[in-house]
Amino acid sequence: MQIEGAVALVTGGNRGLGEQLVKALLERGAAKVYAAARNPGSVTTPGALPLALDITDPASVRAAAEQAQDVTLLINNAGISTGSGVLDGELDAFRREMETHVFGTLAMSRAFAPALARNGGGALLNVLSALSWISFPTSAAYCAAKSAEWSVTNSLRVQLAEQQTLVTSLHVGYMDTDMAAKVDAPKSDPAKVAHLALDGIEAGDYEVLGDEISGQVRAGLAAGPAALYPQLAQARG
């Protein structure tokens, strides 16, 4: 999969990492880049094609797929964070996270898989998180949704390989975007992360680790819950 000459669609392409992905695609010679957003008027990147899209609305997803039948690279980037905790968070907030990250990503992937097949296979990038692999009680809704989205992504890898579509996941921690504006922690530059993701697609990678923390969490999975959650040992005294 080469970025130069590709026709890409980026959900949530109006700000944050999505906007940086749109810019990186254009910089690297993509033939066309659809920047999808609920409000297409909020897309300001020169050269991008604004596209109205709400990934939680089936009719909106169908309309986008009908309009953008030339897509060879789909980037499922749109997301939300409700900040809902495991015991005190509203169940409706959990449902919103699942509707966006899981069912929205699944709906987009299903809608665009036929176009990717017709256009030679191409690639699909799902923007996940280091929190696909580790959970924080205070943001349990987001963690649960990203973990489920990772599972869906793995199923898509296997299914879409039959039509020669590469499915890549991007895992990254905090980035310097609006979503993490209130977080007091080291943050990655979303422009750099965008280029890392595109590098991974061109290399045929199934996973892209966007920062050091994602690599550390990924490596820690084999060590089991006690290693990932030191609070467990502390609680035992």
Rounded average pLDDT per 10-residue block, the chain, 237 residues: 97 97 98 98 98 98 98 98 96 98 98 98 98 96 98 98 98 81 77 97 98 94 90 81
In this prediction, residue 174 carries a pLDDT of: 79
In this prediction, residue 220 carries a pLDDT of: 92
Residues 7 and 218: their CA atoms lie apart, in Å, by 31
* Strands 32-37 and 49-52, sheet pairing: parallel
In this prediction, residue 187 carries a pLDDT of: 79
In this prediction, residue 236 carries a pLDDT of: 78
In this prediction, residue 235 carries a pLDDT of: 79
Q: Are 12 and 77 in contact (CB under 8 A)?
A: yes
In this prediction, residue 4 carries a pLDDT of: 98
Q: Are 168 and 208 in contact (CB under 8 A)?
A: yes
The phi and psi torsions of 44 (rounded to 5 degrees) equal -120, 0
In this prediction, residue 122 carries a pLDDT of: 98
In this prediction, residue 5 carries a pLDDT of: 98
